[in-house]
Structure 1
Amino acid sequence: MDGVVVVFDFDKTIIDVDSDNWVVDGLGATELFDRLLPTMPWNTLIDTVMGELHAQGRTLRDVADVLRAAPIDPHVVAAIRAAHSLGCDLRVLSDANRFFIEAVLDHHGLRGCFSEINTNPSRVDADGRLRIAPHHDFHAGPHGCGLGTCPPNMCKGQVLDRIRASAAADGGRKRFIYLGDGRGDYCPSLRLAREDFMMPRKGFPVWDLICENPGLLQAEVHPWSDGKDMEETLLRLISRVLVEESTLLPLDCKLESLPVAVHDGMPMPLGVKN
């Protein structure tokens, strides 16, 4: 097998909440956030709120403590570990920020499972304040995606194109599995190839966008609704690729580590329309 690359969104995909809102609410800044929301771009808003919390004496440890309490389904943790153990290349592609994502992944022992985190950059300044910046500096110019579902600070489709190019440069044919929930995950879904798989979270914005015109996607669509569903679907798809890539050869021994239920037959892609 030449390789499987699994790309995970973070908010409401790996964790069950939006990490920005979780931190804002957890540190008591909801009123400030709501007041400033109409006045500035999202990344600027989160950076501003972090500055205000710092001025109030909140520390990086306070922020990290709130993030460690963010809800994450044990099945999602198990799915990530299983995919990594099967030799998949796991990446994060998220409109959260690096500090928030790394705090959660570190806490659950998952950071080493991912080869790359693509997100809005963060840094700690000389005063110990967390600074958040946009992935794409939209003040310098637009990212150029005309789809209309990407926020100004990040076109995930462009980032996925870069991931695909770097994976191809490593040699061999890579098959992609993309998991996400939001509007921003729609653009990359359109850039997946016929041999790839899109796993939208059912009932969330990306699912609704896909359902509007499912014929626009080349990749097979396999929706999921919760962590258990995600784990079963993801491992079935990985198992299927392992089987397809081992045609006329003995099955990869890694298949033996899959749950028995996963290779009880290869499922057909689920219909997009109910």
Structure 2
Amino acid sequence: MAGIVVVFDFDRTLIDGDSDSWVVAEMGLTQLFNELRSTFPWNKLMDRMMEELHLQGKSSVDIKECLKRIPMHLGVIAAIKSAHASGCDLRIISDANQFFIETILECHGLLGSFSQIVTNPSIVDGDGRLRIFPYHDVGSPSHGCNLCPSNLCKGVVIDQIRASVSANGRKIYIYLGDGRNDFCPTLRLVEGDHVMPRKDYALSKRIYSNRMLIKADIHEWSDGEELGKILLHLIHRISTEEINCSDLSQLNSSDHI
């Protein structure tokens, strides 16, 4: 029987808003952020914002407390727990960062539901400052993808996941996202896979502008409640189809005995 691998984007998918923007606004960094926005790539800009918080005497604990106030839809929380309990392999690929994502998931009791979180790494250094780094080493050759930012190609990561789990049999992928950088991994999906773009967001628009390039089945969602319902319905449908196929195969085998 095929396993189900569910891959989530994080910002505006698992949570309704954007974790970076939340911290910038809630911790009083909006003016500085806007002043520097055109001078830094986003990943480096967020590292600079963390430096500013450190200079202001704010600690990583203060940042955690801010992140814990980010709301997560109850339908999303329930769907993650149910999908994990049913045996799905849940993963995250996000252009946020490790500290933000893990803090939010832990706050909602979801961190243990995910087998892998691929995102921009972060550390709290010896001075107590939160540092954020790019996922792809800036000193290494470019990932060569013109659809993704230089710090993270989600398509490359999907290929790595597929290679790492393929030895355990056929897998069906469900990919959920909203943004422009979710289009690249969507192109890596094959017939029988599923993509769940957020309706009227960048990913959905790019999919329908390039419909002939998409091999996966498309299931749009608008909010956390709809995301949860559609995801669990898909998981149930895939599982039921696999059970029916398995039963039919066994029946056919017994006919030849």
What's the TM-score once normalised by structure 1's chain length? 0.88
Q: Distance in 2 between matches of 1:119 and 1:87?
A: 23
Q: Which amino acid aligns with 2:193?
A: D
Q: Deviations over 1:49-79 (max 9, x none)?
A: 1011111000111111111111211101011
Equivalent residue runs for 1:131-210 within 5 Å:
131-145=131-145, 148-169=146-167, 171-210=168-207
How far 1:216 moved relative to its partner? 0.6
What SS is found at the alignment partner of 2:115?
strand
Of residues 244, 256, 271 in structure 1, which corresponds to 2:241?
244
Moved more, 6-15 or 135-144: 135-144
Q: Pairwise CA RMSD of aligned residues?
A: 1.3
Q: Deviations over 1:170-192 (max 9, x none)?
A: x1111000000000000000100
In the superposition, relative to structure 1, how do residues 249 and 40 fare at CA in structure 2: closer, same or farther (>3 Å)? closer
Q: Which amino acid aligns with 1:142?
A: S
Q: Deviations over 1:139-178 (max 9, x none)?
A: 5432111xx3311111100000001111113x11110000
Q: Distance in 1 between matches of 2:179 and 2:24?
A: 20
What's the TM-score once normalised by structure 2's chain length? 0.94
Q: Distance in 2 between matches of 1:155 and 1:81?
A: 27
Residue 52 in structure 1 maps to residue 52 in structure 2: yes
Aligned to 2:109: 109
Residue 216 in structure 1 maps to residue 221 in structure 2: no
Q: Which amino acid aligns with 1:159?
A: V
Aligned to 2:252: none
Aligned to 2:119: 119
Q: 4+ runs of 1 displaced by more than 2 Å?
A: 137-141
Q: Which amino acid aligns with 2:222?
A: S
Q: Distance in 1 between matches of 2:246 and 2:214?
A: 31
Equivalent residue runs for 1:7-156 within 5 Å:
7-145=7-145, 148-156=146-154
Q: Which amino acid aligns with 2:233?
A: R
Q: Distance in 2 between matches of 1:77 and 1:92?
A: 14
Q: Distance in 2 between matches of 1:248 and 1:215?
A: 29
How far 1:41 moved relative to its partner? 1.2
Q: Which amino acid aligns with 1:156?
A: K
Q: Distance in 2 between matches of 1:18 and 1:5?
A: 24
Higher relative contact order (CA 8 A, sep 6+): 2
Q: Which amino acid aligns with 1:207?
A: S
Structure 1: stretches of 5+ with no match in the other structure: 251-274
How far 1:201 moved relative to its partner? 0.4
Structure 2: stretches of 5+ with no match in the other structure: 248-257
How far 1:198 moved relative to its partner? 0.3
Taking only the aligned residue pairs, the percentage that are identical comes to 54
Q: Distance in 2 between matches of 1:249 and 1:144?
A: 41
